[in-house]
Structure 1
Amino acid sequence: MENTFFTDASGKPFMPVGLQAHNSSTGTGLIKKALRAVAAFGGNCLEAPVYWYCVEPEMDRYDMALVKGIIDETRTAGLHLILLWFGTSKNGHPNYVPEYIKRQPRTYRLALGPDKAPVPSLSVHCRETLERDKKAFVKFMEFLKAYDGEERTVLAVQIENEMGYANTDRDYSRPADRDYEKPIPEALKAISLKDSGKESIAPDSPVSPWKKQFGRHAHEAFSAWYHSLYVNEIAEAGKQVYPIPMITNVMVGEQSFEEPGLCYNAGAATGRMLDIWKAGAPALDVIGPDIYNQNRREYTRICDAYTRPDNPLFIPESPVRGEANAMNALLAAADYGAVGICCFGAESALDEKGEVLEECRDMALTMRILSSMAPLLLRYRNTGNVHAFAEDEFETSHYLKLPSYHVVAKFLRRHKMYFGYTADTVSEEGRKKAQVRGRALLVQTGPCEFYLGGAGVALDFYRRPAPEDEECFSHLSSRQSGQLNFLSVEEGYFEGETWVAKMNRNGDETNFSQYVLDGQLIRIRLNPDTGMDVEDN
C-alpha cells in the first residue's frame, strides 16, 4: 500500500523525516539552529509549535506574525513544516493559553481532582474554553490557507500537545460528575477494554454506567471520551476552513505501572483508549504516539497498538540521542510501515560550531538512512518487501528468509571483512564507520533486485534451491548460488523517485559481502540464472 497520508504541493506522497523544535523556540533565533539541525540529520521536515497566547494576545485580537515567520524561515531552508497548535494543552497543562483564560478560572474552568482541589489542566467539560480555543484555531487555519495553501510548506497541523489530565484520573467537578452519571454514549456500547474486570460487577450494582461498561478503566475511558470530543470539534472546524491532515500526539500509557493520572495523562489517546478516541474524534486523520521508550519490547508494543487500518503509524516525538531510538526507528519504518518519524529537541543536537553532538550521531545516521530510502519506503510500504536489520544486544548476525534467497546480515563491529579499496576503513574515522551498531533497511523491488541502505552491515545472499532440485546440497554449497553471481552492484542515491548510480562496485569490492557503511545506499541486482539447471553435455 503506497503511503499517501502526507502529500506535497503537487499531491505526491511525502514521508516526513525530521526534528521538532523545543517548546519556546518559535519566533526566536533558535529556529534557525533547529532548521540547521534538520539539515545536519538529512531530514526534510521541521515540527514547530504555534502558541495560542501569541496568536490571540488579547481577547478577539489576532496576530499571525509568529505563524508567518516560521513558515518563511522553513521555506527559505527548503524544508517542510508540521505546525503544532499549543492551545488548551501542553503535556496536559494550560501553559500556552492567553492570559485572559488564565485570569478567569470561574469562566474557563480547571479540572478538579477527587479532593475537589484544582489540577493544572483545563476541563474538557467547559464549553467556554472549547469555544475560545476553537475560534483561535479557526483564525489560525484561515491564515494558513491564505498564506500557504498553494505552496504547501505546511504538511499537517497537530491539535494540542499530549492532551489529558495531569494528577487526576478524571475531572471531579460538578459539570463532569453530571456527565459521568449519564448513560453510556451509543458509539461506545460495542467497545470492550481488556482487563477491565467488568464481568465481576453485578448487573444490579449501583455503580455508574461507565463502571458497568469499562470496569477498572471507567474513569480513564470517561476522560478519553470527552477529550476526544473536544479535539474532534476543533479539528472539524479547522477542516471546514482548510482540509489538510489533522493529527494529535500522545503521552503513551506504556510507562511504569500504567495507571492514568499517575503514570501518564488521564484521557490521553493511549493504546488502551484508542478505540474510544477513534469513535469520538473521526475528524482526526492520525493519532501519533510520542515514543521515548527505549527497550525494544515496549517500543514494538506501542507500534503494534498505533498501527491500524484506521491509523497509520506516525511518530511525532522520539529521542534525538542514543542508540536505542536509532535502532527502533528502523523497525517502525520496516515492520510497521511508519508514514513519518521525528525526534524532539532539534537545537539540542548541535554543538556551538553547528556540528552534530557525539551522543546524537547515532540518530542522525539513522535519519539519513530513512531520508535516503524514503522514495522506496513510500512505494513499498505494507507490501512485505521492506526489512530492517537492527543490531540487538549480543547479536552478531541476523537471518532473513525470502522466497528465493537466504539472507544473512553480519554486523561489522562483530565480523572482520575485506572491503576492497574504495571504502576507507583504515583511518581513525574510517574504523569508526565499521564499529557503529549495525543497522540497515533492505527493500526488495524485484525478484532479484534489492536496495540496501545502512551502516555497519554486510549481507550474504544464498539462492534457495528449487523444490524439485535433486542436487540441492551441491547447488546451495556453490559460490555461484551466492552474491558472486550478481549482475551489478551500484552505489548511488535518489533524485526524487529516480535512482542515480554514482559508482559500480565489482571485484574486490563485491566478492565477499555486500556492505554499507555510514549511511550508504546500494542497488544489488542478482543474477536469476545461476546455471545450476544447465545440463553437462
Structure 2
Amino acid sequence: MRKSFHLGLALAALIGIFTGAHAQTPSSPHLERRGEATQLIVDGKPFLVLGGETHNSSSSSVAYMAPIWPRLKEMNLNTVLVPVGWETIEPQEGRFDFTSVDGLLKGARDNDLRLVILWFGTWKNTYSSYVPAWVKRDQARFARVETSNGSGTERLSPFSAASRDADARAFGHLMRHLREVDGNRHTVLFVQVENEVGVIPQSRDHSAAAEAAFAAPVPEVLMRQLGERRSSLNPELRAAWEAAGARTSGTWREVFGDGSMTDSLFMSWWYATYVEKVAAAGKAEYRLPLFTNAALIRPNYEPGQYNSGGPMPSSLDIWKIGAPSLDFLSPDIYFDDYAHWVSEYRRADNPVFVPEARGGATGTANALYTIGALHGIGFSPFGIDGKGVVLEGDVSVGLDAGSHGDPAIAAMYGQLKGLAPLILQKQAEGKIGTVIMEGTAQRAGRGRAGDYVINMTRANGPAGSVDPASRVAAMFLQTAPDEFIVVGSGDAQISFTSDKPGPPIVGIESIDEQMLLDTGATTGRRLNGDENGQGQSLRLFSTDAAEGRVYRVRLYRYR
C-alpha cells in the first residue's frame, strides 16, 4: 500500500510556509482563520483530516481493535473517528474507568494515527443505548421522551436536568483524563458531543415538562439573537418566522407558526441547550474543538420521520445560539445530492467537516468536493474497519473490507497525504476548487480555476462506455496564474474557456503526469496528441488515484 508522498521540489518548497509564527511550544489542537479558510491547527501547523469512522462497537474492545489499527494506517488514514460510550467509562455512578480510552490512545499512537473521539453520551442516533445501566434502570430520576399517548421511548428527554448534569459530569471527567494523558501528545484532535440527536417517531417530546415548555414563551435570549441575525438567518428558518408575523415574542406556535417545522425548531433549542451544558463542562477541563453531528432528511420526510431537533440546516442558527461551546456543526451525508447538503453547512461561523459518509468511488469524489470547493477541514467515511455503509432499504454500497479496507479511499488518501501542505496553503489563499458531477440529471459540470472556466463531462469508463450515474470530481490547485495541479476521481473529460478580458481562446500549453510512487514523486509522460485531445482537453481516469497519478496543467490564451 502506498505511503505518504511529496510532489518533488515544487511541494517541498511549500512545506515550510506554515512554520515561523507558530513554531513556539505547540498549544492544544484548535481552529484558526488563515486567509480564506478556517483550518485545524495541530502542533503549530495546519492539519488536513483524512479520516475514517469505525463501526459503533469496534472501539469498545482493545483486543478487537489491535489488528485493525495497522490496516487503517495502510489505508493512508491519518485520523480515526472512534466512539467512547458513557457506559464504558462510568459503569457505576461516580466510578470512572478509562482503560478502554487509554487502549485507543495507545493503538493510535503505535500506528502514528490521530483520533477524533465521538462521545456517545445521552444520545446515539436519537436513542439512549450507550448510557450506563444505572441510568437506564432509574426512569424516575432520568426522565424519557414520551409520545403523545403517554408512552415512553428509548430516549432520555432533553428536559431532564438530572440526565443532563450526569452526562456533563461524565464528559468533564473524560476531557480531564484526555488532558492529563494526551495534553502534550495531541493524539486527540477534537471531540464530537453526542451523536445524531433528535426525536423519532414523533416530531417532539410530549412529556409534562416538554408540554409546559412548548406552551411557554420562546426564550428571550433566542428571540433577541434571532433578531440580531435576521439578515443572515437560514432562509427556511427566516421564512417560517416571517410567515408567522416576525413576532419578537410569543409561544413557539405564535412565533414560528403551526406547522411541523415548529416542533423541530422547539426541540432544536432544547437539544442545543442540553448539549451546551455537556460541552461547556468538557471545555472547562480541556479546550479541544467540539462539534455535534446531524442525521439528514430523506426527500419529503417530515419531522419525526427524521431526527427532529437535530442540527439541520434550518435550525443551525438556533443551535449556534443555544450551544456556543460547540465550534462547528456537521452533517452525516449518506444520501444523494451531496454537494447541496454539505454546502448548507459552509458558513462564516461554521467550518466544514463531514464525520460520516459513504466511502468507495463515491466517497473519493465527495472528499475532493469537501476539501476543495468548501475548504473543509476533513472527510471521514463510515465503517472504515468493516464493510463500509449499508443502509436499510438502500442498494448496498458495502465494501469487501478483508485485509484491504476501502481501496478507493486508500488510494485517494495516499495522494492527498502528499498534497496536504499544498492543499492547505491553497485553501488559505482561496486558490483551490472542485467541480463535481452527481446523478443522471447532471450531464455536465462547470467551475472556475483562476481566470479559467472548467467544463467537465463524463467519459468512457473501464467497461468502454459512459456511466450516466457515475460520480466524478476534479480538484484544481492553482500553482501559478496559468498552472494547476489537478486531482481527479472518476472518468471525465475537461476543457477550458475563459470569460475574462484577453484573447478569447484557451489552449493547453502542456499536461504533465505527476506520478506519486513509493520512491517519491516523479514527472511521468508529457501528454499530447491523442492523450490530450490534440491540445483541447484533459482526460481523467478512474484508475488515476490507484496508479498514483495527478496532472500538472499549463494553459494559455490565443486568438
The TM-score, its normalising length taken from structure 1, stands at 0.81
Quote the residue 1:17 is aligned against: 50
1:27 aligned onto 2:65: no
Where 2:41 maps in the other structure, the secondary structure is coil
Give the drift of 1:503: 2.5
**Contact conserved, 2:49 with 2:78, CA < 8 A, in 1?**
yes
Q: Measure the CA separation in 1 of the matches of 2:198 and 2:494.
A: 49
CA shift digits 1:166-209 (9 cap, x unpaired): 32322222222232233211232253725538746899xxx971
**Contact conserved, 1:413 with 1:438, CA < 8 A, in 2?**
no
Q: Structure 2 counterpart of 1:232, which letter?
A: E
Quote the residue 1:320 is aligned against: 359
| Paired positions, count | 489
Alignment of 1:264-343 (within 5 A): 264-293=306-335, 295-296=336-337, 299-321=338-360, 323-343=361-381
CA shift digits 1:27-54 (9 cap, x unpaired): 3244245434533442211000011111
CA shift digits 1:61-91 (9 cap, x unpaired): 1111011000110111111110011110011
Quote the residue 2:28 is aligned against: none
1:84 aligned onto 2:118: yes
CA distance 1:179–1:341, shift in 2 (3 Å) = same
**Contact conserved, 2:432 with 2:475, CA < 8 A, in 1?**
no
Give the drift of 1:270: 1.1
Quote the residue 1:116 is aligned against: 150
Q: Structure 2 counterpart of 1:340, which letter?
A: G
Q: Measure the CA separation in 1 of the matches of 2:264 and 2:496.
A: 52
Quote the residue 2:289 is aligned against: 245
- Where do 5+ consecutive residues of structure 2 fail to align? 1-34, 231-236, 388-398
CA distance 1:526–1:320, shift in 2 (3 Å) = closer
1:502 aligned onto 2:522: yes
Quote the residue 2:178 is aligned against: 144
- Where do 5+ consecutive residues of structure 1 fail to align? 415-429
1:489 aligned onto 2:515: no
Q: Which has the higher contact order (CA 8 A, sep 6+)?
A: 2
Quote the residue 2:302 is aligned against: 259
Q: Structure 1 counterpart of 2:552, which letter?
A: I
Percent of pairs identical after alignment? 29
**Contact conserved, 1:330 with 1:366, CA < 8 A, in 2?**
no
Quote the residue 1:176 is aligned against: 210
Alignment of 1:86-485 (within 5 A): 86-189=120-223, 191=226, 193-194=237-238, 196=240, 199=243, 209-215=251-257, 216=259, 217-252=261-296, 254-261=297-304, 263-293=305-335, 295-296=336-337, 299-321=338-360, 323-349=361-387, 351=400, 353-356=402-405, 360-381=406-427, 383=430, 385-390=432-437, 393=440, 398=445, 400=447, 402=449, 404-405=451-452, 407-409=454-456, 411-413=458-460, 438-457=472-491, 467=501, 476=505, 482-483=507-508, 485=509
Query: Of 73, 80, 86, which residue of structure 2 is paired with 1:52?
Result: 86
CA shift digits 1:233-259 (9 cap, x unpaired): 11111111100100111112x224332
Q: Measure the CA separation in 1 of the matches of 2:203 and 2:110.
A: 45
CA distance 1:397–1:209, shift in 2 (3 Å) = closer
Q: Structure 1 counterpart of 2:215, which letter?
A: E
The RMSD of aligned alpha carbons is: 3.5
Give the drift of 1:272: 1.4
Give the drift of 1:363: 4.6
CA distance 1:403–1:67, shift in 2 (3 Å) = closer
CA distance 1:389–1:200, shift in 2 (3 Å) = closer
Where 2:58 maps in the other structure, the secondary structure is coil
Give the drift of 1:331: 2.5
**Contact conserved, 2:204 with 2:264, CA < 8 A, in 1?**
yes
CA distance 1:326–1:13, shift in 2 (3 Å) = same
Q: Measure the CA separation in 2 of the matches of 1:396 and 1:351.
A: 30
Give the drift of 1:366: 4.5
Where 2:381 maps in the other structure, the secondary structure is strand
**Contact conserved, 2:116 with 2:190, CA < 8 A, in 1?**
yes
CA distance 1:162–1:180, shift in 2 (3 Å) = same
Q: Structure 1 counterpart of 2:301, which letter?
A: E
Where 2:83 maps in the other structure, the secondary structure is strand
Q: Measure the CA separation in 2 of the matches of 1:303 and 1:18.
A: 17
Quick check: which has more Rg, 1 or 2?
1
Where 1:7 maps in the other structure, the secondary structure is strand
**Contact conserved, 1:2 with 1:379, CA < 8 A, in 2?**
no
CA distance 1:370–1:391, shift in 2 (3 Å) = farther
Where 1:347 maps in the other structure, the secondary structure is coil
The TM-score, its normalising length taken from structure 2, stands at 0.78
